[in-house]
Amino acid sequence: MRSNLTKARTCVYNINYHIVWTVKYRRKILNGKVEEYLKEELLTIAKEKDFIIHAMECNEDHIHLFVSAHPKISPSYIVKMCKGITGRKLFLQFPEISKQLWKNTLWNSSFYIETVGSTSEENIKRYIENQKGKE
């Protein structure tokens, strides 16, 4: 059996997503302490909501995630939890970012998502890990 398969009580699966979303108005705020705090919060959310973040990287105004989840967890739920919880917590932790954003909205409402097959997992991970500092 392939090592990238996950065994659950009722199924065996390999479900992966590449997810990207941006800061409202593409403001370049995801750096330094904000970036560090965001990544810690996303790992906490993943653990609490029962999905796995294999790779993530911020590029000042957007974030890339490589995520695996059980089939019962919808990709839109993953995005909703990540954006909703981090948006609220980042404004509380770093009130100064509200000067660059209006109406306490941190994230754009849209996002990009694609499914990732096992043949390209390493390519996606490498791509995300190399996003730091690219335009």
Report which of 29, 32, 19 is spatially closest to residue 83, judged by C-alpha positions: 19
Q: How far is CA 31 from CA 11, 42, 104, 117, in A?
A: 39, 15, 19, 30
> Catalytic pick from 17, 25, 37, 127?
127
Helices (H) and strands (E) in the chain — how many of each? 3, 6
Q: Is 127 a catalytic residue?
A: yes
> Cα separation of 38 and 87, whole Å?
9
Dig out the tokens for 8 from the structure.
Answer: 């659950």
Active-site residue numbers? Answer: 127
